[in-house]
Structure 1
């Protein structure tokens, strides 16, 4: 067993997997330069890796809320927030290094300062895909087997992409997927209770602000800078803002925006697809503008308060600036995605 664990942790299997998929080092410092000899695998795994990054979360989760139904989106956001927080904290508590380069070729630079165990890409992919199937299989008519196959394929591709890009060992991916599956199974029986409290409790807004901020400010401290704290704050902020939006919708805005009826058959037409695309483009436009405006305002205010330059990247990495600006920015995005954007859709006649 010990030999098996060491083998799964070793960098050599990662390097061999990369070579078999046509990715080779081409010299340079620490294997930073590489040669691609199989572009099918390169684009397949590069796109799959993006399915576990901000660009996916900020598009797929709002798309689910705007175009599928809020009932599904609420459960996805619950599980995403829980598994990502636990995964990020686990990395900085365990402090297991990423695969060594060389022999591994690393395609990503931003996350090299992070630790490796567990793979939060694998955790998020597993939680989101299987939660999506668990929630929708009773609302829409499609075979359960087909949904499970799709979820397995999605989570497998994301997991393999982390090995291909040189960011994780096989053990990182396996443990991440298993932790996520366990968390999903444990939280599944409480979904309805959490949903009821999220929509109806008068304490929901205060809880969604105070608890995530406490978790962010008490995040495990490292002796070097790592983007895990910033990413965790981003996730908790977006989840908090979206949850407050759910609560506002349920209490003060039309029920049609807050609660979805059970659907059994989806009839897809050209007009429906165009409407979905229009809703998505309008919504993403609002979120991009929100991010730019709130980020700039938050950074300028905090930098002015602490008397540091907005161009001083070291100062911006301090928790007293990084945590509040990330939380304010992404909670605003979450709030606007669930309140402002649906109202705008209604105003534009896109419902």
Structure 2
């Protein structure tokens, strides 16, 4: 059993897949330590900025600390850095490169404020609500498991790594694989109840999209085969266990008088109680974003139910979708662009204001990156920003569509 696990976790499997897809490591040029400085997630970290930071800290303190809580490093004693060639790679198949790099964007912030709201604006708010609920649960469990298990990502070299932002995160499970599985199959199962379409075709699309995202994590060198398999299995188990209760949760979310309180208090509590690490990682901030989007959307849907205008599809279900004409496509594109502009403006405005208020309260500079990473600043500013986005998406955007003539109220309830 352990032999199988070790084999699936081997970086050589990732390297083999990358080579098959035309991504080849060419030359190595990096800054590596002479005495054992490594990322807390197990991989080497390079870059002159880090060297300068370490030297400045050593001069200021007169000593070398074994570990810096704001870095991604663990060092044995002194910060002696030796220069080596940095990893370079050659792309021999650009079709695979663009396919997998594009697929890997699922799970990034740009996905949070485009695809999920687009389901709300152009298909059915019910489906968006269901997706957000399952997505938030799956992602929270996956992110927490990463920081509890603390298993490293594949080392580079020999693996070619195409992403750097999340390199300080741990590897198992792959939350991209979890999100792709959860979103694809939640949409398939939920849409089958609401809309008429060939289920077999939907199943093929769900499998293909999930597989592309999973393979993209191998192609970009961010996860091992074991990470991806565990992500898919964990997501499938969560969905199987929770599926019988989706309808109950949806009813309580819309009709319970304490729904808005639970929607805010529980995600905020989970964000503050997120597992502490011995180094800074993007997992807490990303998890806060996900929980906040869910909280804001949940409150918005509850408010819409009270106001009697939910913009849901009209039953009896499943309904037949209207034909996709050029006029319908144009309206869909217009709704997407208008809605996206509103969400981006909301993000920039609330983020700008909340950061300045919090930084003034704690007496730090807004431009201080390390200060913004402190829990007492990072959690509330990201939570307030993305709760606002959830509220605007679920309450205001559709009403703006009506005002602009981009929505037919005859298609909603």
Common topology (TM > 0.5) = yes
Decide which of 290, 308, 324 is 2:364's aligned counterpart: 308
Number of residues of Structure 1 aligned to a counterpart in Structure 2: 350
Q: Are positions 1:222 and 2:257 aligned together?
A: no
Aligned to 1:42: 97
Aligned to 1:134: 189
Q: Report the Cα distance in structure 2 between the residues aligned to 1:6 and 1:181, rounded to whole angstroms.
A: 23
8 Å Cα contact 2:192-2:318 kept in structure 1: no
Bigger shift: residues 286-295 or 137-146: 137-146
Q: Report the Cα distance in structure 2 between the residues aligned to 1:172 and 1:127, rounded to whole angstroms.
A: 16
| Structure 1 segments (4+ residues) deviating >4 Å | none
1:260 CA drift (Å) = 5.0
Aligned to 1:288: 344
Indicate how the Cα distance of structure 1 residues 260 and 175 shifts in structure 2: closer, same or farther if over 3 A, else same. Answer: farther
Q: Report the Cα distance in structure 2 between the residues aligned to 1:121 and 1:114, rounded to whole angstroms.
A: 13
Q: Report the Cα distance in structure 2 between the residues aligned to 1:260 and 1:215, rounded to whole angstroms.
A: 36
Secondary structure at the aligned position of 2:324 is classed as coil
8 Å Cα contact 1:139-1:264 kept in structure 2: yes
Aligned to 1:334: 390
1:269 CA drift (Å) = 1.5
8 Å Cα contact 2:124-2:312 kept in structure 1: no
Q: CA offsets per residue over residues 264-291 of structure 1, 9 Å max, x none?
A: 2222211111111111111000000000
Q: CA offsets per residue over residues 305-349 of structure 1, 9 Å max, x none?
A: 000000100010000000000000011001100101011011111
1:16 CA drift (Å) = 1.4
8 Å Cα contact 1:69-1:260 kept in structure 2: no
Q: Report the Cα distance in structure 1 between the residues aligned to 2:204 and 2:93, rounded to whole angstroms.
A: 26
Q: Are positions 1:298 and 2:342 aligned together?
A: no
Superposed, 1:200-215 pairs within 5 Å as 200-215=255-270
**Higher normalized helix content (fraction of residues):** 1
Indicate how the Cα distance of structure 1 residues 3 and 253 shifts in structure 2: closer, same or farther if over 3 A, else same. Answer: same
Q: Report the Cα distance in structure 1 between the residues aligned to 2:282 and 2:99, rounded to whole angstroms.
A: 26
Aligned to 2:159: 104
8 Å Cα contact 1:61-1:77 kept in structure 2: yes
Secondary structure at the aligned position of 1:35 is classed as strand
Q: Report the Cα distance in structure 2 between the residues aligned to 1:200 and 1:273, rounded to whole angstroms.
A: 34
Q: CA offsets per residue over residues 37-89 of structure 1, 9 Å max, x none?
A: 11011001001101232212211110001111011111101110000000000
Q: Report the Cα distance in structure 1 between the residues aligned to 2:278 and 2:210, rounded to whole angstroms.
A: 33
Structure 1 gaps, min length 5: none
Q: TM-score, normalised by structure 1?
A: 0.97
Q: CA offsets per residue over residues 138-195 of structure 1, 9 Å max, x none?
A: 3222222111111111000000000000000001000000110111111111111111
8 Å Cα contact 1:23-1:36 kept in structure 2: yes
Decide which structure has the larger Cα Rg and report it.
Answer: 2
Q: TM-score, normalised by structure 2?
A: 0.83
Aligned to 2:179: 124
Secondary structure at the aligned position of 2:166 is classed as helix
1:33 CA drift (Å) = 2.3
Aligned to 2:335: 279
Indicate how the Cα distance of structure 1 residues 95 and 260 shifts in structure 2: closer, same or farther if over 3 A, else same. Answer: farther
8 Å Cα contact 1:32-1:107 kept in structure 2: no
Aligned to 2:246: 191
Q: Report the Cα distance in structure 2 between the residues aligned to 1:171 and 1:273, rounded to whole angstroms.
A: 41
8 Å Cα contact 1:208-1:244 kept in structure 2: yes
Aligned to 2:48: none
Superposed, 1:22-171 pairs within 5 Å as 22-27=22-27, 28-29=29-30, 32-171=87-226
Bigger shift: residues 107-116 or 196-205: 196-205
Aligned to 2:55: none
Q: Report the Cα distance in structure 2 between the residues aligned to 1:200 and 1:277, rounded to whole angstroms.
A: 32
Q: Report the Cα distance in structure 2 between the residues aligned to 1:253 and 1:303, rounded to whole angstroms.
A: 40
1:302 CA drift (Å) = 0.3
Indicate how the Cα distance of structure 1 residues 77 and 3 shifts in structure 2: closer, same or farther if over 3 A, else same. Answer: same
